[in-house]
Structure 1
Amino acid sequence: MSNAKQTKRVTPGSRETLLHMLETLPDAVFVVDDTEAIIYANASARTLSGTTREEACGTSLWCGALHLVSPSLYQAVHKAKETREPTEVTYVSPATNRWLHVSLSPTDEGLALFFHEQLEPLPLQHALSQNEHLYRDLLDSVGDGVMIVTPEGLVLDINQLSLADAHLQWEVVVGTPLTDLPAWSSDSVVQEHLRTAIARAARGETVRFEAKIHPRTDLSLDILMTITALRDASQQVEYLICAGRDITERKHAEDELRVLIDAIPQLVWMARPDGSREYSNRRWCDYTDMTSEQYQGDGWLQAIHPDDQQHVLEVWQRAVQTDGPYETELRLRQGTTGAYRWFLVRAMQHKDDQGTTLKWFGTCTDIDDQKQAEQRLKASEENWRVLAETVPQLVWTARPDGGLDYVNQRCRDLAQTDAEHLQGDGWSQFVHPEDLERVLALWRHAFATGESFESEHRLKDCRTGAYRWFLVRAMPMRDETGQTVKWFGTGTDIEDRKRIEEALRQSQERASTLMDSNIIGIFATEGEQIVDANDTLLRMTGYTREDLRAGRINWMSMTAPEYLARTRQAQQELATQQYLTPYEKEYVCKDGSRLPVLVGRVALQHHSSQAIAFVLDNSARKELEQRKDAFISTASHELKTPLTAMKLQAILLHRQLAKQGLQASAPTLSSMETQIIKVTRLVEELLDVSKIQADRLEYLQETVGLDALLHEVVDTMQPIHATHTIVVRGAAPCSLVGDKDRLGQVFINLISNAIKYSPGAETVEIDLSASEETVAVRVHDHGLGIPRAQCDKIFERFYRATDPNQKAIPGLGMGLYIVAEIVRHHGGTLTVESEVGKGSTFTVTLPCKRGARADGAHATRVI
């Protein structure tokens, strides 16, 4: 047997019976489908709702039974639909002010609602009655318009204030979509705004917005609308509470304020409590070239520099969330040019008496010029810092009270400490004790008077422990009122300058001593003119200081005519090497007398036309030399006669002894003859020197074959100097015009010197070479050599090298002097190349005459 529950089938007959029963019930019965549309209403229900059967069926319960609608009923309907279980609710009908008890039973098609009217509430219902009356009283006593609507937007209840503004009855409004009421439907934009707000609130958001509505044709209101969602125990949104506050007066005040704001030179804006922008003044719109639609909400961010947007938004959101003030700096784009300028943006909340934020008021102040100035100042300060750290000076700054507040790295390196230890007067410990009191006094004076500070004093270099001289300067920087706001200072190392100054002082003392000398004449020249001179020079030349001031002293005009060529040569030497080797000349004094002098000159480094000359009176030496030359000439002549007699007697004695067969005395006699020859040669050289000095040395003019002359000299000297081999290389197939004996004297002297000054060598080389115009003879030895510094002096009269190795070598220093004079007379040159320890090479270069006969017979004596 089956245990399945039997389902009773509803037949047409039973349906009719059921309907008849329902029609006779005293309670009102409504049957609604899942969409809450009425599909059946019995007679009591139609009477209660005041509708016919045709009017009721197909109509929403909330529109077809307005007298029954309340939030309590709405909650019960949704609960029964959700749980599919019977439920009950008791409430006061807002339309009839009567108590209704409703039983709700789920059906296959929806719900069956049984309404029972109660005249006297039960004890429990009495408590509910008090709550219901409290609810109604509260709803009507609220100063704002309040509506309770479904999540779909149908009005479930409305207070009297809202009805009074619109001149509507409660029955007309309840069950109607809020967006279809005249107050909202008269403006499609406002209607759409409300529809969007209801949709957002149905998702659980609390939505606030302002709108201008028209409850009736003769009334326009500005309201602040707040829509709040009410949730059930399962956190599902049951219905929405819409509160509209009349802000018409405030909006009028705001409009007046906007007129005032548009006249303000700043960019001004207003934002809603949630932070979204709702208004910007005309200057803001003109600057950004944005319309009211573009800047609404967060649209204003598009005018902010991309690099600033994130920071600005974070600061703005933090101010909105914390309800605190807002301030930031940002760059705003100028709409017409696209350029950005810096603005300081500030905003404050406008709150009501309860402390609720109603508006944000903000301003944008153009600070671009200030910002650019700050950036330039920052760049300038940075450049100053970089400069301060790179310049070679000590750099520091001080506060108005004089205490240091910055020192560069060079200061820290010098003091070997950080900036902190140099703060205040910490720097004074590095000043030399002997300078400290003076420096402090100067600094206190500068600080007290505001004058610049300057001092030369010594600072301790802690790296070495030594003191160095520094030039320290400081300048005050003042504001527009003239007050000192900072001191800027530098310290320049002048240690080297101080040393130079001291050396210069000593040099000036020595120069003064030299200028005051009564031995050396000194004068300064500008070109050929003497522009200054010491008293010694004036005394030597007979000129006066008046002659000097009048420009009547010219050193070229003072030069004796025979010394002009040498003077011009000296002048060229001065121009080339900035100094000239002292040379001898004669000045013509003011009285016409002549003054032998030794002159040296140095050109000034930066003024090539200016020079300093030093003049030494050479009269005494010249007179001594003249006496010496006269003595040598006289002595030579006096010695020559007895020497000639001795030489002849020696020859005669040698012959007599040979005839007598007395050969034992021959070596002694030969040695005596050799010494007589040496003395004779020495006397002849002395005579030659005397003649050269007197310019009376005699020369013959004859054709000379140089090859033959040179071989003749070598053949004569080789037997006498057996210790060295004289090697002749090359040939000179040409002849020249000159004195054969004097030229022979040149080569004899050079070969003799080569042998004499190379005692440890074995050879002396002679190289001959010729060109079209000249013939050159080089005499090379492997001997002691000559120091480079002495090579130019060995051709001077009586000069001998000072090398200790040469002191044992006899000689008076006349040979090379004579050789040089003979070569010069023949139009040739004599040079020497030498290296100490490796020998010397003397080169004689003479002009030759090609094609001339080597054995010319014509000879002419030249005196």
Structure 2
Amino acid sequence: MATLTATPQQLTRANLQIAAFGNADNFIEPAFPGQVLNPYAFLVDISERVHTREMAITNVLAAAGIGMWSYSVYSKKFHLCPVASGFLGMKGSSTFGLGVLMQKLVQWNQKHVLDTAKTACRTQQEFETELHINTADGCYGRWLKITGRLYCSDGLAMKMMGTMTDITAAKQEELRKNDLMAFLNHELRTPLSTIKLYIQNTARVARMENNKPLEDKMLKADQQTVSMTQLINNFLTLSQVQDSKLSLQQSRFNLAELVEQVTADMMVLYPDRKFKLKVSKAIWVTADYDKLVQVLVNYVNNAVKFSSVKSVVTLSCGTVDGEAIVTVQDKGRGIKPADQKLLFCRYSRIHHENAAGTKGYGLGLYLSREIVESHGGEVGVNSEYGKGSVFYFRLPM
């Protein structure tokens, strides 16, 4: 076996070069420090026993429909077992360069795959991503889940290895579900908007005619349309969160104005409730306006739901430590310390002896957390049992 002489600093620099991906046509040529008697000495010295074990593992995975792949840092070639080759439309074991793989991928998927692999090389961590493969037949193409990691020997990057699984059926079902959610979202919003308009017009006429009983009924009906709209929004957001595709339509806006607008809407929606607004100045953030409205409405609905009619709900907006913070305070039942940890978990609903008539799916706070965290922010609650709660979210400015 040939020997390598190099300083630790040289090895570090070499590893950074070796682990870094190049463009789609080629990779950065690795520069080996020190005296190299035989360049092939850097290839992994696999004994017959190790090779036999790897073959056994590959055969077991193949029986489960899982393919194996590897990429050599030095030959700059991918090697796929027969199962993995079949996923890409090839026969038997195959060896090819990065350019061939890029040609197999749908164009929009190429950069994401490369960026994921580069990050895994730099951090020397495992990665998992999806490949969208071009196919001649089928409108969806083929979807593969690929996992892998970089392996080193004596401090030098040697090869990447991992598994490949066909997830086309699951992906097609996911896409169909997304199409259904989008369809329902559109088809339900349109009649709801029409119903809401008729209800509000009827309430206005009842008010002009001094028909208090009818006006009260219309206001209650209006509350139900708002609740239904919020439910649609929550389930649509849930679908996006489950698919790890929560899309944000970000823009620059005054967060204080958003809080003022939501407070005004809540005053109309809950005329028998008292709301208080505390906003000091303009607070500009870059975020998804509609998604943050959804979060704040979730907070206010909970405050109204779990506090008495005569109590005050206070909405505030300010800055703390260079971050924007929005709070909703109520004087309701409060939350026990042990229950506070569960509040923002999916489908969690805190049991309360007086909450028998309270409706809900336990999604509002969970989705609020997902939305705020997708903005790089944080959600939380401060509560004293029996004395009320303060729900808040922070956002970077």
Which TM class, normalised by the smaller chain length? 0.5 to 0.7
Q: Is the 8 A contact 1:516 1:534 kept in 2?
A: no
Q: Per-residue CA shift, 1:636-663, capped at 9, x if unaligned? A: 3322332233223323433454566543
TM-score by length of 1: 0.29
1:331-370 matches, within 5 Å, as: none
Q: Per-residue CA shift, 1:369-427, capped at 9, x if unaligned? A: xxxxxxxxxxxxxxxxxxxxxxxxxxxxxxxxxxxxxxxxxxxxxxxxxxxxxxxxxxx
Q: Indicate the residue corresponding to 1:845 in structure 2.
A: 396
1:768 is matched with which residue: 308, 313, 319? Answer: 319
Larger RCO: Structure 1 or Structure 2 (Cα < 8 Å, ≥ 6 residues apart)? 2
Paired AA for residue 679 in structure 1: M
Q: Per-residue CA shift, 1:313-344, capped at 9, x if unaligned? A: xxxxxxxxxxxxxxxxxxxxxxxxxxxxxxxx
Alpha-carbon RMSD? 5.2
Larger radius of gyration: 1
Q: Per-residue CA shift, 1:470-507, capped at 9, x if unaligned? A: xxxxxxxxxxxxxxxxxxxxxxxxxxxxxxxxxxx999
Tell me the CA shift for residue 727 of structure 1: 7.2
1:664 is matched with which residue: 209, 213, 219? Answer: 213
| Whole-Å separation in 2 of the counterparts to 1:723 and 1:657 | 21
| Whole-Å separation in 1 of the counterparts to 2:61 and 2:276 | 54
| Whole-Å separation in 1 of the counterparts to 2:201 and 2:302 | 35
Question: Structure 1 stretches of 5 or more lacking a match?
Answer: 1-504, 795-799, 822-828, 847-863
For the pair 1:629 / 2:182, whether they are aligned, the reply is no
| Whole-Å separation in 2 of the counterparts to 1:517 and 1:533 | 16
Check 1:644–1:732 CA distance in 2 against 1; reply closer, same or farther (3 A cut). Answer: closer
3-state SS, counterpart of residue 94 of structure 2:
helix
| Whole-Å separation in 2 of the counterparts to 1:746 and 1:605 | 44
Q: Indicate the residue corresponding to 2:67 in structure 1.
A: 521
Paired AA for residue 87 in structure 2: M
| Whole-Å separation in 1 of the counterparts to 2:240 and 2:97 | 42
Q: Indicate the residue corresponding to 2:198 in structure 1.
A: 649
For the pair 1:801 / 2:350, whether they are aligned, the reply is no
Check 1:756–1:677 CA distance in 2 against 1; reply closer, same or farther (3 A cut). Answer: closer
1:531-550 matches, within 5 Å, as: 531-545=78-92, 547-548=94-95
Q: Is the 8 A contact 2:128 2:148 kept in 1?
A: yes
Tell me the CA shift for residue 674 of structure 1: 0.8
3-state SS, counterpart of residue 542 of structure 1:
coil
Q: Per-residue CA shift, 1:281-304, capped at 9, x if unaligned? A: xxxxxxxxxxxxxxxxxxxxxxxx
Paired AA for residue 164 in structure 2: V
Q: Is the 8 A contact 2:68 2:84 kept in 1?
A: yes
2:228 is matched with which residue: 679, 692, 710? Answer: 679
TM-score by length of 2: 0.57
Paired AA for residue 163 in structure 2: F
3-state SS, counterpart of residue 376 of structure 2:
strand
1:748 is matched with which residue: 290, 293, 298? Answer: 293
Q: Per-residue CA shift, 1:143-198, capped at 9, x if unaligned? A: xxxxxxxxxxxxxxxxxxxxxxxxxxxxxxxxxxxxxxxxxxxxxxxxxxxxxxxx
| Whole-Å separation in 2 of the counterparts to 1:661 and 1:719 | 18
Check 1:642–1:582 CA distance in 2 against 1; reply closer, same or farther (3 A cut). Answer: same
| Whole-Å separation in 2 of the counterparts to 1:648 and 1:719 | 14
Check 1:555–1:665 CA distance in 2 against 1; reply closer, same or farther (3 A cut). Answer: same
Q: Per-residue CA shift, 1:65-124, capped at 9, x if unaligned? A: xxxxxxxxxxxxxxxxxxxxxxxxxxxxxxxxxxxxxxxxxxxxxxxxxxxxxxxxxxxx
Q: Indicate the residue corresponding to 2:132 in structure 1.
A: 586
3-state SS, counterpart of residue 119 of structure 2:
helix
Question: Structure 2 stretches of 5 or more lacking a match?
Answer: 1-51, 308-312, 329-333, 352-359, 385-389
Q: Is the 8 A contact 1:542 1:591 kept in 2?
A: no
Q: Indicate the residue corresponding to 2:167 in structure 1.
A: 618
Tell me the CA shift for residue 716 of structure 1: 4.3
Paired AA for residue 561 in structure 1: Q
1:84-95 matches, within 5 Å, as: none
Q: Indicate the residue corresponding to 1:55 in structure 2.
A: none
Check 1:767–1:608 CA distance in 2 against 1; reply closer, same or farther (3 A cut). Answer: farther
Check 1:718–1:564 CA distance in 2 against 1; reply closer, same or farther (3 A cut). Answer: farther
Q: Per-residue CA shift, 1:540-581, capped at 9, x if unaligned? A: 111233532x66885455443322332233124313543345
Paired AA for residue 547 in structure 1: S
Q: Is the 8 A contact 1:766 1:777 kept in 2?
A: yes
1:351-750 matches, within 5 Å, as: 512-518=59-65, 520-527=66-73, 529=76, 531-545=78-92, 547-548=94-95, 555=101, 558-588=104-134, 594-604=141-151, 606=153, 608-658=157-207, 662-683=211-232, 704-717=253-266, 728=278, 731-732=281-282, 743=289, 745-750=290-295
Tell me the CA shift for residue 669 of structure 1: 2.9
Q: Is the 8 A contact 2:129 2:146 kept in 1?
A: yes
Check 1:666–1:712 CA distance in 2 against 1; reply closer, same or farther (3 A cut). Answer: closer
Q: Per-residue CA shift, 1:720-767, capped at 9, x if unaligned? A: 68999877576446x57x89xx52x34322333445678879877643
| Whole-Å separation in 2 of the counterparts to 1:723 and 1:599 | 54
Paired AA for residue 514 in structure 1: L
3-state SS, counterpart of residue 117 of structure 2:
helix
Tell me the CA shift for residue 689 of structure 1: 9.2
3-state SS, counterpart of residue 525 of structure 1:
strand
Check 1:515–1:581 CA distance in 2 against 1; reply closer, same or farther (3 A cut). Answer: same
| Whole-Å separation in 2 of the counterparts to 1:648 and 1:506 | 70
3-state SS, counterpart of residue 602 of structure 1:
strand
3-state SS, counterpart of residue 843 of structure 1:
strand
Aligned residues: 311
Paired AA for residue 845 in structure 1: P
- Structure with bigger strand share is 1
| Whole-Å separation in 2 of the counterparts to 1:552 and 1:572 | 13
| Whole-Å separation in 2 of the counterparts to 1:585 and 1:812 | 33
Q: Indicate the residue corresponding to 1:858 in structure 2.
A: none
Q: Is the 8 A contact 1:749 1:816 kept in 2?
A: no
Q: Indicate the residue corresponding to 1:246 in structure 2.
A: none
| Whole-Å separation in 1 of the counterparts to 2:94 and 2:274 | 65
Check 1:802–1:704 CA distance in 2 against 1; reply closer, same or farther (3 A cut). Answer: closer
Tell me the CA shift for residue 602 of structure 1: 2.7
| Whole-Å separation in 2 of the counterparts to 1:769 and 1:755 | 21
3-state SS, counterpart of residue 545 of structure 1:
coil
Q: Indicate the residue corresponding to 2:376 in structure 1.
A: 830
Q: Is the 8 A contact 1:636 1:686 kept in 2?
A: no
| Whole-Å separation in 1 of the counterparts to 2:394 and 2:54 | 44
| Whole-Å separation in 1 of the counterparts to 2:381 and 2:150 | 32
Q: Is the 8 A contact 1:718 1:725 kept in 2?
A: yes
